Chain A
Amino acid sequence: MRTSGRPAVTRLVPVLPFLWLGAFFLLPVLITLKISLSAAATAQPPYLPVLDWSAGPEGWGTFLEELDFANFETLANDALYRDAALSSLSLAAIATAFLLVVGTPIAYAMARAPARVQPLLVALVIVPFWTSFLIRIYAWIAILKPEGLLSAGLMRLGLIDRPLELLNTQAAVLIGLTYAYLPFMVLPLYAVFARLDPRLRDAAADLGASPTRVFWSVTLPLAGPGLMAGALLCFVPMVGEFIIPDLLGGSDTLMLGRVLWSEFFSNRDWPLASAVAILLLILVVGPLVLFREAETRRTEAAR
């Protein structure tokens, strides 16, 4: 219920952020779509055709005729891009599964910790989340490289007799993804677990359910939307991840984010980079919509 006397000012509140997001988020994506349909050129800007607004309707018509799908044909026909798309999706999916397995017990344990220490635990999870992403990935180089700490430690313990070849492999990328995105998974999950009515668990236990059954039959189903939101919050950016495959992956670890980067910075093929961006966008748009719905359901459940 709202007051009857809301001033007209409140109706103007959305205008400023709306204009900003339209200009600096929506419009850029549309421009990217347009450039993905252009051809590369050695010019400034390095693509053709360039839309000249002053050319009038006739000029715009010519502009439209010159647009083509050549970049997308390249993406479809070249195995490099197909493989990159597939490995982006599969690495992100596997890492999401890892995150669920690793993150759920941590989040659950946080929610069951004494109320006094919970804010501290949350802060402890947030600190790495706010700490430079680049640095946290960089730290793993020192751990994973053949003469690094992990191999040295395991060799000293006598568990292995030769240094591990972990750095520059897909395994290293998966470790990096799981590590870097763990706080993104734990925090929403913790929020869900912490909000669950403890009386529901008590009621289930009172009716004879073992702690294991309580978890699987009551806690987890109620946490469903939160799990979904957490998983998608991690999955979507991981599909387009650049830093992790670049620093921890080998030259054979192709992910779309990295392909886009090299098309843009190394090959200076802006239209092809744009086409990769659009492909990436198409891959994540489904999960993005799902994420919004999970979020809406989650916040509505919280009301």
Chain B
Amino acid sequence: MSVLNRVALGLGLTFLYAPILVLAVYSFNASALVTVWGGFSTRWYAILFADRPLIDAALVSLRVAAASALVATILGGLAALALDRAGRFAGRSLFTGLVYAPMVMPEVITGLSLLLLFVGIGLDRGIVTLVIAHATLGLGFVAVLVGARLKGLDLALELAAADLGAGPLRVYATITLPLIAPALAAGFLLAFTLSLDDLVIASFVSGPGATTLPMRLYSQVRLGVNPEINAASTLLVAGVTVIVLGATWLTGRNAAKAGPTYGA
């Protein structure tokens, strides 16, 4: 690797990680001031764990993330299968657009329009509306991940199974599903973190009693830098790092197992 490439990587990763590391370091600062190092302390973590509203918000977020990621994985997997397998069907072009659009759509539009729908049909805002909104957001990401995996699958594998006497359902259960499982798992994790992370859409569609973690953090962040938030952030970042590294390891192992097609 050339020196230039090393420098580009070094600077790039520094840019990406420096702010996060600053947060992590100052979450152990005894002093409440950002620029003054007052010695090592875990007092902000103690305060954090005693912050009942924050913990409640985190629990709401986790529940919403789990439920919405599950719905997004099922619907996104079906959408990917439809785009890869169903051939031409009425409204295919519109369908493709609908799958991809929520991924790039500015969140304020998604949030506002969903809120207007919920008000219009008289659905009370709360956990349910959060789950619906986040599932819609995550669906497209799952579809893209699963779609890429389906595209990479050797079609001959499914034909071989059919040739050996497996009916369509057995082919799906014993060949297709196990081979796209890593993509479904990755899609679930991505949908989960997207939900956990979302502030804008949640602010629109959530109601009283369903304050998510980002909403709670945002209301505090607006007041300025706060070591307790640093501590909360550090824990979140650490959690995500573990999940991502685990997922990388998992898919790496599975990719080796599923491998490219042999021979030709």
Contact = CB atoms under 8 A, between A and B. Distances in A.
Contact of B112 (A45, A186, A273, A288): A273
Contact of B9 (A109, A127, A239, A257): A109
Interface residues of B, number: 90
Interface in B168-227: 168, 190, 193, 196-197, 199-200, 203-204, 214, 217-218, 221-222, 224-225
Contacts of A120: 248
Contacts of A35: 116
B40 interface: no
A118 B201 CA distance: 34
A179 B92 CA distance: 36
Contacts of A236: 104-106
B108 interface: yes
A122 B248 contact: yes
A14 to B, nearest CB: 4
A108 B81 CA distance: 32
Contacts of A270: 116
Contacts of A233: 104
B98 A26 contact: yes
B23 A29 contact: no
Contacts of B200: 242-243, 257
18 contacts: A17-B99, A17-B139, A18-B95, A25-B102, A114-B1, A131-B197, A132-B217, A132-B237, A133-B197, A147-B35, A149-B22, A240-B105, A243-B199, A243-B218, A257-B108, A273-B112, A284-B105, A284-B106
Interface of A: 1-3, 5-7, 9-11, 13-14, 16-18, 20-22, 24-29, 31-32, 35, 45, 102, 105-106, 108-110, 112-114, 119-128, 130-136, 138-143, 145, 147-149, 152, 179, 182-183, 186, 211, 232-233, 236-237, 239-243, 247, 256-257, 260-261, 264-265, 270, 273-274, 277, 280-281, 284, 288, 291-292, 295, 299, 302-303
Q: Give 8 nearest A-B pairs by CB, closest first.
A: A240-B106, A28-B113, A14-B82, A106-B12, A139-B19, A109-B5, A105-B8, A17-B79
Interface of B: 1-2, 4-6, 8-9, 12-13, 15-17, 19-20, 22-23, 26, 34-35, 75-76, 78-79, 81-82, 85-87, 89, 91-92, 95-102, 104-110, 112-114, 116-117, 119-120, 132-133, 135-136, 139, 143, 151, 155, 159, 162, 168, 190, 193, 196-197, 199-200, 203-204, 214, 217-218, 221-222, 224-225, 229, 233, 236-237, 240-241, 243-245, 248, 252
